[in-house]
Structure 1
Amino acid sequence: MLVQALTRGDLTFDYVTTLSTPSGTAPAPFTVFAPTNDAFVSLLGELGASSLGDIDEPTLKATLDLHAVAGANVLAAGLSDDMMVGTLGGDITADVTGGARLTDSNGRVSSIIVTDVQAANGVIHVIDKVVLPKLPENLVSKAYNTPNLSILYDAVQAAGLVDALSGEDPLTVLAPTNEAFAAFLADNNFGSLGDIPTDVLAQVLLNHVIDGSVMSTDLTTAGAGYASTMATGAGGNDMSIYFDTSSGVTFNGISTVSAADVEATNGVVHIVDKVIGLPTVVDHALANSSFGSLVAALGAADGDLVNVLSGAGPFTVLAPDNDAFTAFLDGAALADVPTDALSNILLNHVLDGVTMSTDLVAGVAGYTTTSATGPGMSNLSLYYNTSDGVRFNGVSSVARADVVASNGIIHAVDAVIGIPTVVTFAAADPNFSTLVTALTTLTPDTDFVSVLSRTEGMNGDGINPNFTVFAPTNAAFDALASIPEESVLTQVLLHHVIGDNNVRSGNLNVDGDTVAASLQGDNITVTLPGTGDNIADITDGAGNADIGIVDVDVQAGNGVIHVVNKVLLPSN
């Protein structure tokens, strides 16, 4: 294909005659960099051409000129690093460390794969990529031709991202300056780019790349918010990046745009003054001033939670904003909250693993477990319902979902989620709406809510655990011929509660009976294993043995709930 290019009929220069000039006669000898057929095929794909005939004559001639040096027989041994090679079409750069190669004015690199093919009037070196004249600058060539982005260009090459950033689809690149890279290397104890593992370097660079062309006006119009980068965060999700335009344009609270809207053929470059590392959930909280109160709380709480949440994870953090903390404190100061209690409250916003909003919506409603602890050091449950947005424990809604960090996910919420009581779960879960009515409206002479909201032992210290509640579903109440009048209903409700004991499923006798006295006075017998779909069977005070526990271990701060499919009845 090189011969086909050199002999094309419309060329205004006779390459064959010129390159046949005998040695000793000007302009011989020659040094020719000869692209392979595969190199030309790749060039056609790069230019979007189907054949050499689709390339206009001026472009083809300018290209061929860059492959010939007149008046010099330059052997491979005569090449050196950063050597400017003067071709018929202008200078290209040669390097030899790590393999002989040529770099054109677009930042494209051609490797020399065969050297020193000596002819009578010159020498040929075979290359694997066609050298091109100056083209309209894409994102990579823009970095190559900007002196203060030379380390960025070297990093893109080292990470193998040249092709990814040279495609046709538009991208936005936040381009750190040489000074930014120097600081990044020093701060992370790297002597050079070569000390950074290639996969880590690639992810750091991709954390500076946003899909699509995002102009500075797009950012200032939005004011502040999150975008997704091409780096991979927790759970394989695209990493989030926070931007704020209240004072200049900053990213993740650490990197400021120094030159905006540098346009390239395949996107736009914003030059920034800091390398943007891969953020943890704590880094995201620090970057967004809306989480200032959360950051202060994390620092004040027991357990060094800042370092915990900066660890490997992954975590899912339900992050209350400043207004949520203001409402929670209700005029008090953060310092007024005991640090151990504060720690447990904050841990009640932390789920183990990666939970995206789509995971919650797919489940519609249900229970998960937080890192907070209740009686017996058991992890607390958290109820979520997605029938109207995403809501937790009936008190806190997701305001901004799926902020992706390197070690987890943040969902911003509009209320602090306090340590739940058994009443909290009953009120939050619509499956217990009839039970709530029975505990309140239908039994006004007994303050069940106050009783079952007793909070001893709610700091997760395992001291004085409280209630075990067998909670009938709405369907269980519907199966009754009628709901009893207040005096009888009160006794029925008391028969569903075991006092001063947090009996989890793991505390039950395996392959046998566990007997406990209810607050009403009659015994309840729990039998493992259950029959049919029941996890366990219950025999109530009246001797009914067809009652099933269908869900277990909904853990509150003052006790545990087990869901039952029939109402328990006392002996009388």
Structure 2
Amino acid sequence: MKFLSKLLLLVILATASVSCSDDDDAPVIPPSGDPTIADLVTENDQFSSLLAALERTDLVTPFVGGSGNLTVFAPTNDAFSSFLQTNGFSSLEEVPESLLREVLLNHVVNGRILAADLSTGYVSSLGTGSASESNLSLFIDTISGVRVNGVSSVTTADILATNGVVHEVNAVIGLPSIVTQALANPQFSTLVAALQRASTETTNYVEILSGSTSSPFTVFAPTNQAFENLLDALGAQSLDDVAPETLATILEYHVIAGSNVRSGDLSDGLSATTLQGENLVFDLTDGAQVSDATDNNANIAVVDVQTNNGVVHAIDKVLLPQEIVDVIDPTIAGLAMMNDDLSSLVAALEYTGLDDVLADRSGEYTVFAPTNAAFDTFLGGAALTDLPVETVEQVLLNHVLTGTALSTDLSTSYTNSLATYGNTEDNLSFYINVDNGVVINGISTVTMPDNEAANGVVHIVDAVIDLPTVVTFATADPNFSNLVGALQAADTDFVSVLSGTTNSPFTVFAPVNSAFDAITVPGEPVLSEVLSHHVIIESNIRSENLSDGATVQSLQGDDITVTLPGTGDNIADLTDGAGNTGIGVIAVDVQATNGVIHAVDAVLLPEQNN
């Protein structure tokens, strides 16, 4: 039954409000008197077949007069001739009267709708089909003239009558099937292509969803954009990159056979079995939604497009059954798009163009993905687009590492994100602490690790990892807890200074905790001088910028001298302002947005504190 589900997807959605091409033309005024719709049909030789059909089905009376207003799409004699020939009838008398009556009523809409009032979308005719007692839907397309159900065009508009208006059309509007509406609406062109690609010599999905076997059908039809999102999630360029068998399974999951389920029949928590075999569940708590095997619900955008063999509801996402989720291999961008709680991240990726990067299967990345709540907190009520795109790009890159690192591969250490410092190619540092879960830069905790993708892995986190300052790393790394305590105790507000940009960039020689164990911490005024002796302002001096014998002036005023290479395991040795030598640089290049940190194994002392 895979065939049924595919064709069902073809039928819905219409939004654009575009007037028909005849809008600027004056209405055609009857030459004399106050004719009714019946008079217009009777007096026009082009409508003699229509008149004969109305008389045979006793439908002339509703068009004679009265206070009602109707809009009639009136087929010409040539239109009726084509209709009879196409359907294998030699005359109107051979058409079953009940069928002919419903076909005629399918040309009539309640209310007087002039050409200027027509817009692209769905309206209900007075006809009913075999699927339900609900009125059939007509798809009006005004993008180029006025076309009804994709089969009949208005050739003369706005023929006025006392009880409505007549629009002459060039084809009989037959009772529509699900496929009729799918083909009529350009928003479902990708769905139609998917049905065709999934068809085989023995299974023609278009024919199946055009017919009555296993009908009525209820079809949840994804729009073109929904298919684009699916292809992005799969890292596919087009439907040609998706196996026909996979498409067949996916399409069948959108179809319920044997039931004409309209919107009024839905209830919260209702479960329905699809042609594919798995269930769909309906969630009405936040609008009408359909739940599938992913974490991302589909919104029902248009409801109750009624056809002769079922009903169509348009949705904004391609639904995926567990059978497909278990075998597909989405990219990181795809995983994000499939998770409702990462929609803000998806919006940010699209805003910056980084969605293409994370959809590229040739790369390999580890992404720490903030939830929607994390983005809400980060933005503080502002809109994402209020921020410069360059800023958002760097913030997002600060969540990405090269390579695939599962949670079991992570250790307490520094690594580099893909964000960069200033206008350089130097990457910002990224501090991972696994002592109690996984915490990034001291502010963001992994809540759902190891969501594997085709091009890496996603770890979901509870906070946006903002671009780090020097203080960010000092606070995050427990090896600098004594330094942070000293910064807070000093009479100078070093935390604010080193968090900001005034006099930045900073190069900070940061003593580890053991360095403080070897000295007696001086009082506040002297402490400020000692701490100032660890900071060089207006310089981002990385390890590659150090040279043997070089001296740099600290914020306190005394010089610090560099010796290369360092003794033992030291990367370099320093001599402080007091003349103390052999102070070891034990870690380098912890890069922040406003400077760089190098860890040292002793506290640097200025000359007056010797």
Which range, TM-score by smaller chain?
0.5 to 0.7
**1:236-277 CA-partner distances (Å, limit 9, x unpaired):** 543322233344443333444555445444434445555544
Indicate the SS of the match to 1:243.
strand
Which of 341, 346, 364 lines up with 2:531 in the alignment? Answer: 346
Tell me which of 140, 143, 157 is aligned to 2:346.
157
Q: CA deviation at 1:371?
A: 2.1
Q: Hey, what does 1:284 align to over in structure 2?
A: 473
TM alignment of 1:144-543, pairs within 5 A: 150-151=340-341, 153-160=342-349, 162-168=355-361, 169-175=363-369, 181=373, 185=376, 190-191=380-381, 197=387, 199=389, 203-220=394-411, 224-233=412-421, 236=424, 237-257=426-446, 260-272=449-461, 275-312=464-501, 313-327=504-518, 329=519, 333-334=520-521, 337-353=522-538, 355-361=540-546, 366-373=550-557, 380-388=558-566, 389-393=571-575, 395=581, 396-419=583-606
8 Å contact 2:336–2:345 — kept in the other structure? no
Aligned position for 1:433: none
Give 3-state SS (helix, strand or coil) of 2:380's partner. coil
Task: Report the AA paired with residue 550 of structure 2.
Answer: G
Deviations 1:386-421 (A, max 9, x none): 44544444733321111122332211122333335x
* SS of equivalent to 2:590: strand
Secondary structure, aligned partner of 1:295: helix
Work out the CA distance in 1 between the residues paired with 2:476 and 2:360: 31
Map of 1:20 onto structure 2: 210
- Cα deviation, 1:546-567, whole Å, max 9, x if unaligned, reads xxxxxxxxxxxxxxxxxxxxxx
Q: 1:196 to 1:94 in 2, by over 3 A?
A: farther
Give the drift of 1:285. 0.9
- 1:383/1:112 CA distance change after superposition, 3 Å: farther
In the alignment, residue 251 of structure 1 is paired with which amino acid? Answer: I
User: Higher mean Cα deviation, 404-413 or 163-172?
Assistant: 163-172
Once the two structures are TM-superposed, the CA of residue 120 in structure 1 deviates from its matched residue by 8.9
What letter matches 1:347 in structure 2? S
SS of equivalent residue, structure 1 residue 302: coil
Which structure's relative contact order is higher, taking Cα pairs within 8 Å and 6+ residues apart? 2
**1:60/1:29 Cα in 2 relative to 1: closer, same or farther (>3 Å)?**
closer
Q: Check whether the contact 2:233–2:334 (CA below 8 A) recurs between aligned residues.
A: no
**Displacement of 1:314:** 2.9
Distance 2:301 2:564 in 1: 60
Q: CA separation of 1:209/1:87 partners in 2, compared to 1, >3 Å: closer, same or farther?
A: farther
Unaligned ranges ≥5, structure 1: 76-81, 374-379, 421-454, 460-572
Residue 295 (structure 1) shift: 1.5
Shift of 1:282: 1.3
Deviations 1:180-204 (A, max 9, x none): x36x856x68248769847566655
CA distance in 1, matches of 2:586, 2:436: 24
Going from structure 1 to structure 2, the CA distance change for 1:175 and 1:43 (only over 3 Å counts) comes to: closer
8 Å CA contact 1:234, 1:409 repeated in 2:
no
Instruction: Name the CA distance, whole Å, in 2 between partners of 1:41 and 1:372.
Output: 57
C-alpha contact (below 8 Å) 2:368/2:459 kept by paired residues: yes
Question: Which amino acid counterpart does residue 371 of structure 1 have in structure 2?
Answer: L
Cα distance in 1 for residues equivalent to 2:270 and 2:529:
63
Alpha-carbon distance in structure 2 between the residues aligned to 1:83 and 1:315: 60
Q: Counterparts of 1:31 and 1:225 in 2: how far apart (Å)?
A: 49
TM-aligned CA deviation for residue 370 of structure 1: 3.0
Normalised TM-score (structure 2): 0.50
Q: CA RMSD in A?
A: 5.4
Following TM superposition, by how much is the alpha carbon of 1:156 offset from its aligned partner in structure 2, in angstroms?
1.0
The 2-side partners of 1:92 and 1:198 are apart by 40
The whole-number CA distance in structure 2 between the counterparts of 1:397 and 1:47 is 49
CA distance 1:14–1:346, change in 2 (3 Å): same
Show the counterpart of 1:462.
none
Aligned equivalents of 2:282, 2:559: Cα separation in 1? 64
Identity %: 36
The amino acid across from 1:281 in the alignment is V
The CA deviation string for residues 55-101 of structure 1, in whole angstroms up to 9 with x for no partner, is 433202124446778877999xxxxxx99999866759999x9xx99
SS in structure 2 at match of 1:17: helix
Residue aligned with 2:499, SS? coil
Q: Is the 8 A contact 1:258 1:271 kept in 2?
A: yes
Q: Secondary structure at the match of 1:309?
A: helix
* 1:341-375 CA distance string (max 9 Å, x none): 332332222223452535415x66534443223xx
Q: 1:407 to 1:355 in 2, by over 3 A?
A: closer
Cα displacement (A) at 1:17: 0.8
Equivalent position SS for 2:467: coil
TM-score computed with the length of structure 1 as normaliser? 0.52
The range that moved more, 287-296 or 270-279, is 270-279
Read off the aligned partner of 2:516 and give its amino acid letter: F
- Correspondence 1:10 to 2:200: yes
SS state of the match for residue 226, structure 1?
A: strand
Contact 1:291–1:319 under 8 Å retained in 2:
yes
Q: Distance in 2 between matches of 1:205 and 1:41?
A: 20
Residue 5 to residue 194, structure 1, CA distance change in 2 (3 Å): closer
> What CA deviation, in whole Å up to 9, does each residue of 1:20-66 have, x standing for no partner?
348x9943796754649x978994995558983x6433202124446
> CA 1:289/1:358 → structure 2, altered by over 3 Å: closer, same or farther?
closer
Cα contact 1:281–1:405 (8 A) shared by 2 = yes
- Distance in structure 1 (CA, Å) of the matches to 2:552 and 2:480: 24
Alpha-carbon distance in structure 1 between the residues aligned to 2:250 and 2:586: 56
Q: CA–CA distance in 1 between the matches of 2:252 and 2:507? A: 58
| Partners of 2:275 and 2:496 in 1: CA distance | 60
Pick closer, same or farther for the CA change 1:392–1:340 going to 2, 3 Å: same
Label 1:351 to 1:51 Cα distance change in 2 as closer, same or farther (>3 A).
same
String of CA shifts for 1:450-490, please: whole Å, max 9, x gaps. Answer: xxxxx5xx89xxxxxxxxxxxxxxxxxxxxxxxxxxxxxxx
- State the match for 1:449 in structure 2: none
SS of aligned partner of 2:603: coil
Alignment partners' CA distance in 2, 1:248 and 1:107: 24
In structure 2, distance between residues paired with 1:41 and 1:208: 23
Q: How many residues are paired up? A: 394
The answer to whether the 8 A contact 2:303-2:313 is kept is: yes
CA distance in 2, matches of 1:347, 1:305: 9
Separation of aligned partners in 2, 1:93 and 1:166: 30
